[in-house]
A and B are shown apart, each in its own frame.
Chain A
Amino acid sequence: MKTTVPIHLEILRQPQFAAGEYDTGFVGRLLG
């Protein structure tokens, strides 16, 4: 079964997210 846990972890580990530098386009750019 697939869950959203992996994408959450990927987001949390992004330096940009860690620095608080994200916006509504962040996830879309990450998924490319």
Chain B
Amino acid sequence: MRRVDGAEDFAARYQEASLEAEKAFSNPGLYLEKYIVDGRHIEFQVMADAYGARRPPRRARVFRAAAAPEAPRGVPLTRTRRGDARGNRRPALRGPPAVGYRNAGTVEFFRDPAGTSTFMEMNARLQVEHPVTEMITGRDLVAEQIRLAANEPLSFRQEEVRSQGHAIECRINAEDPAQDFRPSPGLIQVFRPPDGALSFEIGDSGGGAAKGGDAEGTAAQSDPSIRVRVDTHVRDGYRIPPHYDSLLAKIIVWGPTRDAARRGMIDALTHSASKG
């Protein structure tokens, strides 16, 4: 991979990369794409059944927050300028049915600092951070995904999808940020998800998300409007394996405003603990 910042460097960088590709893969062919500095990653969760229904609640990949502080008002499959309302969410809606796609998909765009949004790709899967979308829509996307896999219709119509408030998700990994996020495997002696100032209810380990799944609660004492959800497999005595993902938990906080969600997340993280 080579980054080219000016036309004068293109030929040399291209040749370097091409030679490297031929040596490594016996194929000098290259793929060129635009390099966007300091942009914003925007995702749309789409679900399509065989009966004409579809849904695109918007969310932002950046710091796993939904909805985006400045969600694009025009995100066509090619390019447009911010402020062009004609394309608002329509490309994300049009794409999957156009190719006969069924089930959950994630349509991704990248917006540059000037406000131009460019289509990146569509992943044929549920969003990795689908809890934020579940929190702002109140829909259980995993349950819907299973329904669709069974060739059943979506349980709701597009016009019934409403996004409320804001959600932020933090992935808690056993990693050391000061050491370039080096994994920190080992035995967890004590693991405490958010509690303390937060009135927290731990649910069963199985089941859905937005409707009371893994662990969900309400910040009754500090702010009754804040909702906290914890998805985790970790318990006291759990050993973090060295060969797999070091993810310990996903903490998702919903608030009526983005700042309420942000402050709620600070509360939640402050009142969680792990020792090992």
Contacts and interface: CB of A to CB of B under 8 A. Distances in A.
Interface size class of B (residues with CB under 8 A): 35 or more
Given A23-B39, A24-B40, A17 B63 contact: yes
Contact of A3 (B38, B63, B172): B172
B102 to A, nearest CB: 31
A1 B186 contact: yes
Contacts of B240: 1
B39 A2 contact: no
B274 A3 contact: yes
Interface in A1-32: 1-9, 11-13, 17-18, 20, 22-26, 31
Contact of B40 (A5, A17, A23): A23
B269 A22 contact: no
A27 to B, nearest CB: 8
B147 interface: no
A11 B45 CA distance: 25
B262 to A, nearest CB: 6
A1 B242 CA distance: 13
B157 to A, nearest CB: 31
Contacts of A1: 174, 184, 186, 188, 240, 274-276
A2 B172 CA distance: 10
A12 B266 contact: yes
Given A18-B262, A23-B62, A24-B40, A3 B186 contact: no
Contacts of B70: 20
B171 interface: yes
A2 B174 contact: yes
B150 interface: no
Q: Which of B63, B70, B272 has most A Cβ within 10 Å?
A: B63
Given A9-B269, A12-B266, A23-B62, A4 B171 contact: yes
B275 A22 contact: no
Contacts of B184: 1-3
B170 interface: yes
B222 interface: no
Contacts of B258: 20
B185 to A, nearest CB: 9
B203 interface: no
Contacts of A31: 177
B209 interface: no
A18 to B, nearest CB: 6
A6 B114 CA distance: 32
Interface in B167-203: 168, 170-179, 181, 184, 186, 188
24 contacts: A1-B188, A2-B174, A2-B178, A2-B184, A3-B172, A3-B175, A3-B248, A4-B171, A4-B172, A4-B181, A5-B170, A6-B177, A8-B269, A9-B266, A18-B262, A20-B69, A20-B258, A22-B63, A24-B38, A24-B39, A24-B41, A25-B38, A26-B62, A31-B177
